[in-house]
């Protein structure tokens, strides 16, 4: 198990701070032995929780040109036809994945192609499952022209705990399915917008894994073997 690069600095300074506080307690608060031990135990637990958040597990990625692969670990919370106003300005099928603090928070390209649009939006920090979080929260919007033609839009959306979104793509980049396109720190959501005739392969409440779970299939001609 590797530690993601976005967490290494945070983990290093957190470890230093916890060590310093515990050393000071054991040095200058010696009579309160029970308290010092409880605080030391709590420090270990807190650091382990932070450590698991920034884990970067090895993944055997699944790729196919007309399949939409889950861009993140989490639970499917939305599947519906909606009006997408930012880029398409028409009806699209939305699939949303909620990432809890215990999920891996790496975000991956759901499909291969060329980035035709990218924009970062500063914003609020509503809880990630709130209906307005998709348009009100801090977020990024990425639109990729897939190798089979249809355009796919996906958003990183910050949640109530998140305060920073990281991205590694820009307009004009060629991206590969399953590769990392960003990271969201401390609770978040990813929305995917595809053509309304796209066949959805998951259900509300289903748990998915980034880079592995097939969540939808684009309509292509000729039809895919899938």
Task: Tell me the catalytic residues.
Answer: 188
Question: How far is C-alpha 198 from the geometric centre of its chain's CA atoms?
Answer: 22
Alpha helices in the chain, H assignment, sequence order: 5-28, 33-53, 133-136
**Is residue 1 classed exposed, middle or buried when 0-12, 13-18 and 19+ CB atoms within 10 A define those classes?**
exposed
Spatial strand order of the sheet with 165-167 comes to: 106-108, 180-184, 165-167
β-pair partners for 113: 146, 175
Q: What does each C-alpha distance from 31 to 27, 28, 42, 44, 158 come to in angstroms? A: 10, 9, 19, 21, 44
How long, in residues, is the chain? 226
How far apart CA 69 and CA 62 sit, in angstroms, is: 8
How far apart CA 158 and CA 140 sit, in angstroms, is: 9
CA 93 to chain centre: 19
């Amino acid at each position: 198990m590797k530690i993601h690069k976005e967490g290494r600095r945070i983990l290093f300074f957190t470890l230093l701070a916890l060590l310093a506080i515990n050393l000071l307690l054991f040095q200058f608060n010696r009579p309160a032995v029970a308290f010092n031990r409880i605080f030391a135990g709590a420090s270990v637990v807190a650091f382990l929780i932070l450590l698991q958040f920034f884990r970067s597990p090895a993944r055997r990625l699944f790729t196919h040109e007309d399949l939409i692969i889950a861009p993140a670990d989490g639970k499917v919370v939305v599947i519906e036809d909606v009006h997408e106003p930012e880029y398409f300005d028409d009806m699209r099928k939305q699939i949303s994945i909620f990432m809890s603090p215990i999920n891996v928070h790496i975000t991956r390209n759901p499909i291969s192609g060329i980035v035709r649009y990218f924009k970062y939006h500063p914003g609020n920090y509503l809880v990630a499952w709130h209906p307005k979080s998709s348009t009100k929260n801090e977020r990024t919007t990425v639109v990729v022209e897939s190798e089979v033609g249809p355009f796919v839009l996906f958003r990183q959306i910050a949640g109530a705990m998140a305060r920073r979104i990281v991205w590694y793509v820009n307009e004009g980049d060629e991206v590969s399915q399953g590769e990392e396109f960003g990271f969201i720190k401390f609770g978040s959501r990813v929305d995917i917008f595809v053509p309304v005739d796209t066949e959805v392969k998951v259900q509300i409440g289903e748990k998915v894994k980034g880079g592995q779970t097939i969540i939808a299939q684009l309509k292509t001609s000729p039809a895919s073997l899938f």
